[in-house]
Amino acid sequence: MRLRDGSAVTVRVATAQDEPALSVFLAGLCLEARRMRFFTGAADMAYAAHLASAGGADRCGLIAHDETGATVGHATYVQLDATRAEVAVEVADHLHGRGLGTLLIERLAVIAERRGITHFVAEVLSDNHAMLDVFREGFDARVVGHEGSEERVEFFTSAWRLAHERFAPGPA
């Protein structure tokens, strides 16, 4: 798959065997990226990698690799109830703004929709404007709640079609 800048990534379902690579990837995120994703710069990256690589009927994770095989992104959802799941995404610092987060959420939403999940929700720090923009501009997410420095956004999983249409690469 091609990102907005023309660079290529491969995306596949994450497995337990990805835990070591995810641990290295997450540990390599800058402190600000960790704060934006985990709401603290001091999160336990090994534990986060363990959760990110866990599979099951109530969750799904995707992993992205660049052309060298390095892990450059991850997205996951965990089912909250019969029709809703919480979604989270992290992208390598050097790839921010190139569309990888949108692509990962789009692909994850396709899987979730096939499994009967109709809504994604996400907890986002209010000052994480880039992620809020991804949700709003790509998926027409709306803010459904505020608590302290966090905003809760929600959108239909079927909105992956909007993101695909809005951000699909044009003719070469």
* Whether 58 contacts 79, CB under 8 Å: yes
| CATH architecture label of 10-167 | 3-Layer(aba) Sandwich (3.40)
User: In the prediction, which pLDDT does 172 show?
Assistant: 45
Task: Measure the CA–CA gap between 134 and 2, rounded to whole angstroms.
Answer: 17
User: Can you give the residue ranges of every domain in the chain?
Assistant: 10-167
- Could you tell me the CA-to-CA distances from 165 to 32, 33, 109 in Å, in that order? 31, 28, 14
* Whether 22 contacts 88, CB under 8 Å: no
Task: Measure the CA–CA gap between 163 and 156, rounded to whole angstroms.
Answer: 12
User: In the prediction, which pLDDT does 169 show?
Assistant: 60
Average pLDDT value over all residues in the chain: 90
Q: Please provide the size of the chain in residues.
A: 172
pLDDT tens readout for residues 50-83: 788 887 889 999 999 999 999 999 999 999 999 9
CA angle 141, 72, 80 (to 5 degrees): 40
pLDDT of residue 34 exceeding 90, the answer is no
Find the range with the poorest average confidence among 7-11, 45-49, 64-68, 110-114: 45-49
Q: Where are the alpha helices (DSSP H) in 39-122?
A: 45-53, 100-114
Neighbours of 85 (CB within 10 A): 24
DSSP class of 126: T
Q: From start to end of the chain, where are the E strands?
A: 10-13, 59-65, 71-79, 84-91, 119-125, 142-147, 150-156
Neighbours of 140 (CB within 10 A): 13
Which pair of structure tokens corresponds to residue 111? 């899987």
Q: From start to end of 37-82, where are the E strands?
A: 59-65, 71-79
* pLDDT band per the 50, 70, 90 thresholds, residue 1: confident
Percentage of the residues of the chain whose pLDDT score is greater than 70: 96
User: In the prediction, which pLDDT does 46 show?
Assistant: 78
